[in-house]
Amino acid sequence: MQAFILAAGKGERLLPFTHYVPKPLFHIVGQPLLGLLLDNLIKLGVSRIGLNAYHLAPQIRAFIKEYQALHPGVSLRIFEEPVLLGPLGGLRGAKDFFTTPTLVVNADIVTNFPFMTLWEAHQKNPAEVTMLLHHYPSFNNVMVQQDNVVGFSKTKGQYAYTGIQVVTPELVRSLGPEDRDLVPSYSKLLKKGFKIKALIATSFYWRDIGTLRSYLAVHEDILYRRAKIPGIKTPKSPFVYYVYPQKLHFEEWVFIEQGVSISPGTKLKKVVAWEGSTIPRGTHQEKLFIPHVTLHK
């Protein structure tokens, strides 16, 4: 099995933080999300992995270079986009990579779904695409009959796409320059007779980190032990910190990495702070602190 990671997006809903760090490198309880995803794939036996890059591509390149040095037996290939091509355009831009069915995963989701289950479903019942779907009311827009995707509708959709799918070389070869986004392109391909299968799953953890609220919610779920994510050791306490200034007050949960500067007397509630960041004196709730960013929403 080979895999491709979609890692090119701008992450505009996470501004101003994504001015400085691309979403795939956002820390999840202290670890870059892209690293967690790569570790998970390698543990499954995936030895050939591609990914696209556009926004802050030099940071993605640097991370992959370091990761490759630690995993010399894995082939990692980056496809840099001169302009942002979109989710399906990213596949077309890397079409030479798709010589066999490929697991495709968005780089901005945190999940414990076993990828091999989707791969086996695709092998058992081949199609041009096999999409992993679940019931997620705010995102439901996929219409399914039996195990076939038959269309997309915000009002009639029964399931939501998880950002995880298996695609074939035939699918990638069918994409043209106009094919950027999934819904319009897959709608067009369905009319042409392409077969898109659905694997509908339940009882697994899934959340994207596309907004600050969602990013913080991932930490809450992990720190409260509501989610067990591959590669992340379950914390013993919802208060994780490595600094000990006087009169520091915590509420609900916090995750403070090593090397964070915090003024004495500070009160924190639902806060994540990355190494090298500074938390000024005061009361802070539902915030992210990263180096270089002084504006916090």
The DSSP code for 242 is S
- Let me know if residue 245 belongs to a domain: yes
Distances (CA, A) of 95 to 47, 99, 215, 239: 18, 8, 31, 45
Q: 85-110 burial by CB neighbour count: b if 16+ within 10 A, else e?
A: bbbbbbbbbbeebbeebbbbbbbbbb
Asked if residue 259 and residue 192 are part of one domain, the reply reads no
Q: What is the three-class DSSP state of 53?
A: strand
Which tokens is 93 given? Answer: 């831009």
What per-residue confidence (pLDDT) applies to 294? 59
What per-residue confidence (pLDDT) applies to 234? 87
**DSSP string across 157-216:** --BEEEEEEEE-HHHHHH--TT--SHHHHHHHHHHTT--EEEEE--SS-EEE-SSHHHHH
Give the number of domains in the chain.
2
What per-residue confidence (pLDDT) applies to 15? 94
Asked if residue 148 and residue 32 are part of one domain, the reply reads yes
The DSSP code for 90 is H
Q: Which of 157, 190, 207 is the last residue of a domain?
A: 207
Asked if residue 255 and residue 137 are part of one domain, the reply reads no
- Let me know if residue 219 belongs to a domain: no
The pLDDT tens digits of the residues spanning 113-159 come to 999 999 999 999 999 999 999 999 989 999 999 999 999 998 999 99
- Let me know if residue 224 belongs to a domain: no
Rounded to the nearest 10 degrees, the angle between the axes of helix 33-43 and helix 57-70 is 40
Asked if residue 265 and residue 140 are part of one domain, the reply reads no
The model's pTM is 0.94
Nearest 5°: the CA angle 282, 286, 287 is 70
- Let me know if residue 144 belongs to a domain: yes
- pLDDT tens digits, the chain, 297 residues: what are they? 899 999 999 999 999 999 999 999 999 999 999 999 999 999 999 999 999 999 999 999 999 999 999 999 999 999 999 999 999 999 999 999 999 999 999 999 999 999 999 999 999 999 999 999 999 998 999 999 999 999 999 899 999 999 999 999 999 999 999 999 999 999 999 999 999 999 999 999 999 999 999 999 999 999 999 999 999 998 999 999 987 666 889 999 999 999 999 988 899 999 999 999 999 999 999 999 999 875 443
Asked if residue 276 and residue 177 are part of one domain, the reply reads no
- Let me know if residue 135 belongs to a domain: yes
Those residues with Cβ within 8 angstroms of residue 48's Cβ, 6 or more apart along the chain or in another chain: 2, 3, 74, 75
Asked if residue 250 and residue 106 are part of one domain, the reply reads no
Asked if residue 68 and residue 135 are part of one domain, the reply reads yes
What per-residue confidence (pLDDT) applies to 245? 63
Place of tokens 């509708």: 153
- Let me know if residue 169 belongs to a domain: yes
Asked if residue 203 and residue 256 are part of one domain, the reply reads no
> How many Å apart are CA 97 and CA 239, to the nearest integer?
43
Asked if residue 127 and residue 193 are part of one domain, the reply reads yes
Domain interval for residue 284: 236-289
Asked if residue 58 and residue 186 are part of one domain, the reply reads yes
What per-residue confidence (pLDDT) applies to 297? 39
Query: Residue 81 is part of a domain; what is its CATH number?
Result: 3.90.550.10
What per-residue confidence (pLDDT) applies to 123? 96
- Let me know if residue 273 belongs to a domain: yes
- Let me know if residue 138 belongs to a domain: yes
Asked if residue 252 and residue 197 are part of one domain, the reply reads no
What per-residue confidence (pLDDT) applies to 242? 84
Q: Which of 192, 207, 222 is the last residue of a domain?
A: 207
Asked if residue 140 and residue 99 are part of one domain, the reply reads yes
